[in-house]
Structure 1
Amino acid sequence: MLGLVKSCIGTKFTSQFGDLIADLAIDATRMVGVELGQGLREVDIKKYIKVEKVPGGQLEDSVVLKGVMMNKDVVAPGKMKRKIVNPRIILLDCPLEYKKGENQTNAEILREEDWTVLLKMEEEYIENICAQILKFKPDVVITEKGLSDLACHYLCKAGVSAIRRLRKTDNNRIAKACGAVIVNRPDELQESDVGTGAGLFEVKKIGDEFFTFIVDCKDPKACTILLRGASKDLLNEVERNLQDAMSVARNIIKCPKLVPGGGATELTVSAMLKQKSSSVEGIEKWPYEAAAIAFEAIPRTLAQNCGVNVIRTMTALQGKHANGENAWIGIDGNTGEITDMKERKIWDSYAVKAQAFKTAIEAACLLLRIDDIVSGIKKKQAPGTGPSKPKIDEEGDADNDQLIPE
């Protein structure tokens, strides 16, 4: 698997850092893989793997965190704890503040006592919400919405750290990592909704900003890749390479089948199609021959990129692949030599290769079905001239048309 991911990013910028990016990609995709049963696995790298780029340090400092990291600090930095071991985490999708009126609300107050009653109602509502949350003895409360000063006071008093206005995507990742359930109303909280899978909650300062780490989770199904590097441009380039590497790793985890790279697969398919065409008679053999020639485009392009003699190389390859033999023989992209792909560990994913073949054939069929193109643009006619009659090609004219050379 490492060899396959490395052959994917071998020509990219990060190849100079050895196995670093390939290892990060494989660790992350293995972590978020979920068994669906019957030998199927679901790996959602878009939802459950977050790449956090922090300028500074060296690229070798990049790690896959067994949990989630986000660019947030606790609500009251001086009063709330910034490091908790084995925290109990509650995730909320509701505001911990007094509800404002949906429309413009007018309250007519005649006496001073009425104003006091209004304030007391607000305080009691927030105290009631906080009491429902604190009943489950949490160490960390995280909400996607706002958190009022009064709620912050009650939580501080109970020694609970709180984070507010978190992104929905980050909240989903925390839920997957620590085993918590996101709750919409505090009165619906249950003991099973509390996340106890995290090993450490910590807020660290990196550069000028504070980052919250919920890490060392037991069997996390979401993770964060922390990338360090000298500049933002470098980090952006590394992230693009990492996305490619993770996509390859995901394809292999979902469909663990490999085919040889370096044009070996295409040449084998081409040889088999030529063999098949010799057993078919009449006009039906032409599509087989045309497809066989089309498949040779990949090894031919590889040979051109290597700067070797294309005709000699292709002839030698076709000779080795004749009659469907030597299926592992292909072109080494670095040297242009004809070698065994198994020895050089140059692999392709079967799922990607099969899909590429299907798409290419479907696209060719689509283009062949188009017999004419209708333009929607009307040509401006000179004033006074009537509509021109459509010209109909006769059989004699069609034969006289000039053929476009290939």
Structure 2
Amino acid sequence: MAMLPPGTTPVFVMNAAPERQSGRKAQISNITAAKTVADVIRTCLGPKAMLKMILDPMGGILLTNDGNAILREIDVAHPAAKNMIELSRTQDEEVGDGTTSVIILAGEILALSLPLLERNIHPVVIISAFNRALKDALSFIDTIAQAVDTSSDETMLAVIKTSIGTKFVSRWSDLMCKLALQSVRTVWTEEDGSKTVDIKRYVRVEKVPGGEIEESKVLDGVMLNKDVTHPHMRRRIENPRIILLDCNLEYKKGESQTNMEIVKEEHWARAQDIEEKQVDLMCEKILSFKPDLVITEKGCSDRAQQNFMRANVTALRRVRKMDNNRIARATGATIINRVEDLRDEDVGTKCGLFHIEKIGDEYFTFLTKCEKPKACTILLRGPSKDILNEIDRNLADAMSVARNVAFNPRLVPGGGATEMAISVELAKRSKTIEGVEGWPYRVVADAMEVIPRTLVQNAGANAIRVLTELRAKHATGEHLWGINGETGKIEDMKKYGLMESASVKIQTLKTAIEAARVLLRVDDIVQAKRADRDAGGQAAPPPEDMQGAMEG
């Protein structure tokens, strides 16, 4: 990096390929890019993690230590760096945690592969050894994993706490763990022996600035940012009968080819009467089921509002599709596309209380006290939008961990203990491998140490001394020993209470090694032809540089 004048903000620039790179040059370029991405978020691992402040183009700021949130925001141009950023997104989609670990591990594996390439070991040989190492590592995880009782609140809360302990909300970890567990338990369904925990569709996080963080809670039902359509409608109903619609409560206009010619005043009045009559018929059909509350995803005309108000029925309009699905799951109602198809069993009766409250300057609709709701809303309170957004990201990780344990109820020790155990085991097995393949196999073993090493470094302890102690413990088969991220010293993770979901570790290993294999397979980086080159007969100017610039 060039020297900068005093007072200048340093910007890390990765000089990537010029217009084309091939062979060794392309591989070195890719490895350098991957290593740089890993170095950016290396300090974000563990409970003593540093925060990153990211300035967005609009002038807003993002303060977080969540690997995925950071990498999602930074701007990169190098193709290999983009590939690395996709890793954390994959990890987040799949298991919701370990987004920082997967990038650090993939970067370390690639960095340690560079000396092998310089010794002219073919990438195919390296990849073959990586596959073998991954297979052995996964089988070893099975031997050290311990079963967990998912019905025990105490055990589940301890597991979720491992995810939140390194995040911003660790001060309120007990509250956040309870919110995550309660919401996952709410949407957890088992049918024909198969489990379903869809937190993306059926758990809604509603962030309302103001109040204290301790006021956050999981509602036994659904909350919407909506008010009634008419000011005279009821705002509080106990045990309401609810009808959910996905159709307009207005006159259905004709298609574009419909033509209506009006020559007299009475023709216009007649057209208006027909429109009103159609709306009246729709309302009559709905009111025949004696509802207390009608919710539609589309519009609700003035005429329909008037009819509902006379019948003492409350109406909400333009509710989002996802919200309507949650209401259906919570209240037992069925969403209807045509009013003519409405039946008595489609009416929702499982909601105990409908009421509207004003929080701050906005009105919120609450459908609570639901009987066995299969959808819920988490109401988050806090001092500002930035803090609420960070709490929301951390809570999403906590819910993902709870979901993972529900699907795969096995735990492994955290604090780098699992990685060190795999490292020691693979190093032992590498001695039995004959030929060149033993070196790349050993690379995976050495790379695994990056997680405990980074934890020690972030805690400000002496990495060499602590890792030597830890390696000695694991060499004698004490696989539960890991790094205490607060003190930087080694500790028994079971006694310390830091056990993590096995599915997160398995996914981290698979994703990191797969990424290393993909990037090692690349031997050419070529700029694609621009579409406008041949259009006007004159070639577009060639790109100055395939330059990877990272600013953050």
| TM-score normalised by the chain length of structure 1 | 0.88
SS of the equivalent of 1:303 reads: helix
TM-fit CA distance, 1:112: 4.0
Give deviations 1:139-197, integer Å, cap 9, x for gaps. Answer: 10001111111111111111111011111111111111111111010000011111111
1:328 maps onto 2:483 in alignment: no
Please report how far the alpha carbon of residue 234 of structure 1 lies from its aligned counterpart in structure 2 after TM superposition: 2.2
Give unpaired runs (5+ residues) of structure 2: 1-155, 530-552
1:11 aligned onto 2:166: yes
Aligned: 1:61 with 2:212: no
- Secondary structure of 1:358's aligned partner: helix
Partner SS state of residue 173, structure 1? helix
Counterpart residue number, 1:366: 518
Structure 1 residues 284, 128: closer, same or farther in 2, change over 3 A? same
Query: Residue 390 of structure 1 corresponds to which residue in structure 2?
Result: none
Provide Cα deviations, 1:279-329, integer angstroms capped at 9, x if missing partner. 333334333322211111111111212222212211111111115x00101
Q: Report if aligned partners of 2:456, 2:489 keep a CA contact under 8 Å in 1.
A: no
**Cα shift at 1:233:** 2.2
Cα shift readout 1:316-370 (whole Å, capped 9, x = no counterpart)? 11111115x0010111000011110000111221111001111122222223333
Aligned twin of 1:103: 256
Quick one: which of 497, 505, 513 aligns to 1:353? 505
Distance apart, 1:33 and its partner CA:
1.4
Aligned to 1:86: 239
Do residues 42 (structure 1) and 196 (structure 2) align? yes
Match of 1:133 among 265, 275, 286: 286
Write the distance in 1 (CA, Å) between the matches of 2:366 and 2:215. 16
Counterpart Cα distance in 2 of 1:287 and 1:109:
84
Query: Residue 279 of structure 2 aligns to a residue in which SS?
Result: helix
Q: Structure 1 residues 36, 353: CA separation in 2 closer, same or farther (over 3 Å shift)? A: farther
Residues 255 and 376 from structure 1, CA distance in 2 versus in 1: closer, same or farther, beyond 3 angstroms?
A: same
State the SS of the aligned residue for 2:436.
helix
The aligned residue for residue 267 of structure 1 is 420
- Distance, in Å, in 2 between the alignment partners of 1:273 and 1:349 is 21
**Change over 3 Å in CA distance of 1:105–1:352 after alignment to 2:** same
Q: How far 1:103 sits from its partner (Å)?
A: 1.8
* 1-structure distance, mates of 2:270, 2:526: 74
2 CA distance for matches of 1:277 and 1:368?
21
Unpaired stretches in structure 1, ≥5 consecutive residues: 379-406
Q: Does 1:252 align with 2:422?
A: no
1:338 corresponds in structure 2 to 490
- Structure 1: which amino acid aligns with 2:370? C
Instruction: Tell me the equivalent position of 1:32.
Output: 187
Contact 2:165-2:173 at 8 Å conserved across structures: no
* 2:316 corresponds to 1:163: yes
Query: In the alignment, is the contact (CA less than 8 A) between 2:330 and 2:376 conserved in 1?
Result: yes
Matched residue, 2:526: 375
Q: TM-score, normalised by structure 2?
A: 0.65
User: Identity over aligned residues, as a percent?
Assistant: 56
Q: Partners of 1:307 and 1:111 in 2: how far apart?
A: 88
Rate the CA distance shift 1:47–1:377 in 2: closer, same or farther, 3 A: closer
Give runs of aligned pairs for residues 172-321 of structure 1, distance below 5 A.
Answer: 172-321=325-474
Query: In structure 2, what residue type is equivalent to 1:329?
Result: W
Q: Choose 146-155 or 278-287, whichever is displaced more.
A: 278-287
SS at match of 1:42: strand
CA distance in 1, matches of 2:315, 2:251: 17
Is the partner of 2:300 in helix, strand or coil? coil
Q: CA deviation at 1:106?
A: 4.2
Name the stretch that deviates more: 277-286 or 53-62.
Answer: 277-286
4+ residue segments displaced more than 4 Å: none
Distance (whole Å) between structure 2 residues aligned to residue 76 and residue 296 of structure 1:
64
Q: 3-state DSSP class of the match of 2:526?
A: coil
Displacement, 1:117? 2.5
Return the letter of the residue paired with 1:318.
R
Larger relative CO (CA 8 A, sep 6+): 1 or 2? 2
Shift of 1:108: 2.5
1:114 to 267, 279, 284: 267
CA distance in 2, matches of 1:262, 1:112: 81
Greater alpha carbon shift after TM alignment, 229-238 vs 128-137: 229-238
- Displacement of 1:253 in angstroms is 1.6
Q: 1:51 aligns with which of 205, 213, 219?
A: 205
Q: SS of the residue aligned with 1:321? A: helix
Deviations 1:84-111 (A, max 9, x none): 1111100001111111233275433344
SS in structure 2 of the partner of residue 19 of structure 1: helix
CA distance in 2, matches of 1:365, 1:147: 56
**C-alpha separation between the residues in 1 aligned to 2:266 and 2:295?**
36
Distance 1:189 1:55 in 2: 39
Q: Which has the larger radius of gyration?
A: 1
Structure 1 residue matching 2:524: 3-state secondary structure: coil
